[in-house]
Amino acid sequence: MDGEELTEQETALYDRQIRVWGADAQRRLSKSHILVCGLKGTVAEFCKNIVLAGVGSVTLVDDRVVTDESLPANFLILPHENHYNGKTLAEVCCDSLKEFNPMVHVAVERGDISTFGVEFFEKFDAAIISCCSLGKKKLINQKCRKLSKRVAFYTVECRGSCGEMFVDLQDYKYSKKKLEETIECQIEYPSFEEAILVPWRALPRRMSKLYFAMRVIEQFEDVEGRNPGETSIADRLGVLKLRKELCETNSLDESQIPDALLERLLTDTREFPPVCAIIGGILGQEVIKAISGKGDPLKNFFFFDAMDGKGLIEDISGPSTRS
């Protein structure tokens, strides 16, 4: 591994985790730059995790002004700071994150991320996008893919007891130890757009129902021009109609997307803190894996539902990138 040795201070601070992933991985982490957009509870958990892990820098993008509604699941916002003086979510979270680990550089970038040019993303090793419209997610994913260097791309959303995470590592090579030898592995990832375009009938029979349900809700919000989470039970009929259409085009039985699940996703749009901790934790681990090149990264969706307690990985790719 090229690059400088870890400092004594770093070795001491990260001792426990170096024992898990090794000094090489720690060196790579400390030189990595992470872009984070959309600061709700799940992303706050994620930020804490990678700041504790000791990444080089974290750049926060979220110009929404802090309100009482930002508070419940986001532990980076302290309630006694009643008067935020119009501070943005990114600014308040930035201040809190700095206290978690002074060795990590945490900064705020102002502006609408969808207007940032391709070169902006080149500074980063990973981009994590949350609370964004479907269109923005696709756009940022495309920008990351245009670069010659790989910028790992992640989206993450939690609604009520459910959480979803998507990963695009493009063309990802890593090595892992199998028995005594080290084997080189290569995985090809589809983009977010490519993944969600994979015809449903082409997917494995026992695909997580959450995948389909999330796509229905996502499309509904997109068509209606709403921000993620701006739904209620009043949208039930509209959503059921969309489900019918999507199921017909995709030759999927409507029972694969149960009414009850859709209703939960529509009505309980607030984040549930234990789910934030879980999804934020898994996301943290995946970003650490991608940066350190250590360990099998997950491909390419992860679902968790507190109702059944399962944390499921699904590979949703077209035939060309199916592993």
Partner 1 sequence: MVGAGGIGCELLKTLALSGFQDIHIVARDAVLRFRPNISITPYHANVKESRFNVDFYKEFDVVLNGLDNLDARRHVNRLCLAADVPLVESGTTGFLGQVTVHLKGKTECYECQPKPAPKTYPVCTITSTPSKDLLFAKLFGDKNLENDLNVRSSDATNLSEHSEDVFECRKGEDIEQYGRRIYDHVFGHNIEVALSNEETWKNRNKPWPIYSKDVFPDKLTKENGKTEKGSTTEDVSAMASLGLKNPQDVWSLAENSRVFYESLRLFFSKRQKEIGNLTFDKDDQLAVEFVTAAANIRASSFGIPLHSLFEAKGIAGNIVHAVATTNAIIAGLIVIEAIKVLKKDSNNYRMTYCLEHPSKKLLLMPVEPYEPNKSCYVCSETPLSLEVNTHHSKLRDFVEKIVKAKLGMNFPVIMSGASIIYEVGEDLEEDMVAIYAANLEKALSELPSPVISGTVLTVEDLQQEFSCRINIKHREEFDEEKEPDGMLLSGRVEAPVDKNSNKPIGNGESTSSALSTEEIQEGERDVEIQETSESAENVTGRKRKLSEVSKGSIPDHSGLPDESSKNQNQLEKLDVDDEDDELIISNDWESLTKKKRL
| Closest to 299 in 3D by CA, of 277, 275, 323, 320 | 323
Q: Which is nearer to partner 1, 85 or 205 (CB)?
A: 205
Q: Is 145 in the site for partner 1 (CB under 8 A)?
A: no
Q: Which is nearer to partner 1, 5 or 245 (CB)?
A: 5
Q: Is 185 in the site for partner 1 (CB under 8 A)?
A: no
Nearest distance from C-beta of residue 256 to partner 1, angstroms: 11
Q: Is 210 in the site for partner 1 (CB under 8 A)?
A: no
Nearest distance from C-beta of residue 84 to partner 1, angstroms: 16
How far is residue 19's CA from residue 28's CA, in Å, rounded to a whole number? 15
Phi, psi for residue 140 in degrees, rounded to 5: -65, -40
Could you tell me where the DSSP H helices lie in 83-164? 89-100, 118-121, 134-146
Q: Is 83 in the site for partner 1 (CB under 8 A)?
A: no
Q: Is 56 in the site for partner 1 (CB under 8 A)?
A: no
Q: Is 308 in the site for partner 1 (CB under 8 A)?
A: yes
How far is residue 226's CA from residue 4's CA, in Å, rounded to a whole number? 47
How open is the CA angle 134-139-140, to the nearest 5 degrees?
Answer: 105
Q: Is 48 in the site for partner 1 (CB under 8 A)?
A: yes
- Binding-site member from 2, 82, 206, 251 for partner 1 (CB under 8 A): 206
- Fill in the amino acid letter for 49: N
Helix (H, G, I), strand (E, B) or coil at 301: strand
Both structure tokens of 77: 């916002």
Residues that bind partner 1 (CB under 8 A): 5, 11, 15-23, 41, 45, 48-49, 52-53, 72-73, 75, 78-80, 177-180, 206, 272-278, 280-282, 284-285, 288, 295-296, 298, 302, 304, 306, 308-314
